[in-house]
Chain A
Amino acid sequence: AQSVTQLDSQVPVFEEAPVELRCNYSSSVSVYLFWYVQYPNQGLQLLLKYLSGSTLVKGINGFEAEFNKSQTSFHLRKPSVHISDTAEYFCAVSTPGSSNTGKLIFGQGTTLQVKP
């Protein structure tokens, strides 16, 4: 079975500072990896995804993530955060071609709190 662990439930950071949100996954088969962001009272917005190819993935709003197969990690980074980045961030995996079709497995989420 697959699982996703987001290592920090809350990450406080000052505006314009860099940030890293950590995500580790467990799977015996190949996975697709995603980061989503959720603002209050809204649905999930896709930030970026790793399907194959280059392990460094760039997404929207200046975010990027690096897939590390040996460490089974997919950490999200941004070099300089803004107040508007305050939100909850979810890491998710899917296992294409398996019996888990159409199913995303999510981590518990990380609340990013950007302080002025």
Chain B
Amino acid sequence: KAGVTQTPRYLIKTRGQQVTLSCSPISGHRSVSWYQQTPGQGLQFLFEYFSETQRNKGNFPGRFSGRQFSNSRSEMNVSTLELGDSALYLCASSSQEGDTQYFGPGTRLTVL
């Protein structure tokens, strides 16, 4: 099976803009989780979707949002970008709740 894919791999934006990142899970996986990775804060959970429903959300401002489509593909959106949003954004998929999460290569977002 193909692994988790994320697009784009690299992105450069300026403050105030918005950005949309995409994640395609492993075929058959219905759960997608998103994480932000920064040198200072490490890996932090953003949110998790299962069958198009957000089931869990981390402690991030409302500028961070996501959605999941009927084919399990997921997108996350960050509005009004801030310099501190520069990070590696990782998505992970799993077949069901509590199961092992498999990660994509990430999207490196740089905010100037």
Which chain A residues have a beta carbon within 8 Å of chain B's beta carbons?
32, 34, 36, 41-46, 49, 90, 92, 94, 96-97, 99-109
Does B25 have its Cβ within 8 Å of any Cβ on chain A? no
Residue of A nearest to B41 (CB): A108
Assess A102 versus B55: contact at CB under 8 Å? Given A32-B98, A94-B98: yes
Tell me the minimal C-beta distance from B47 to chain A in angstroms.
Answer: 8
Question: Which of these, A42, A92, A102, contacts B94 with CB under 8 Å?
Answer: A102
B1-21, CB < 8 A from A: 4, 6
Tell me the minimal C-beta distance from B45 to chain A in angstroms.
Answer: 5
B49-106, CB < 8 A from A: 49-50, 55-56, 58, 90, 92, 94, 97-98, 100-106
CA distance A44 to B98 in the complex (A): 18
- A-facing mask of B23-51, CB < 8 A → 1, else 0? 00000000101010000001101001110
Q: How many A-B residue pairs have CB under 8 A?
A: 66
User: Is A99 a contact partner of B56 (Cβ separation < 8 A)?
Assistant: yes
CA distance A74 to B13 in the complex (A): 40
User: Is A103 a contact partner of B103 (Cβ separation < 8 A)?
Assistant: no
Which chain B residues have a beta carbon within 8 Å of chain A's beta carbons?
4, 6, 31, 33, 35, 42-43, 45, 48-50, 55-56, 58, 90, 92, 94, 97-98, 100-106, 108
25 inter-chain pairs at a CB distance below 8 angstroms, sorted by A residue, are A34-B100, A42-B105, A43-B90, A43-B104, A43-B105, A46-B101, A46-B102, A92-B43, A94-B98, A99-B56, A100-B56, A101-B48, A101-B50, A101-B55, A101-B56, A102-B50, A102-B101, A103-B33, A103-B56, A103-B58, A104-B33, A104-B45, A105-B45, A106-B42, A106-B43
Tell me the minimal C-beta distance from B95 to chain A in angstroms.
Answer: 12
What B residues does A104 contact at CB under 8 A? Answer: 33, 35, 43, 45, 92, 101
CA distance A99 to B97 in the complex (A): 11
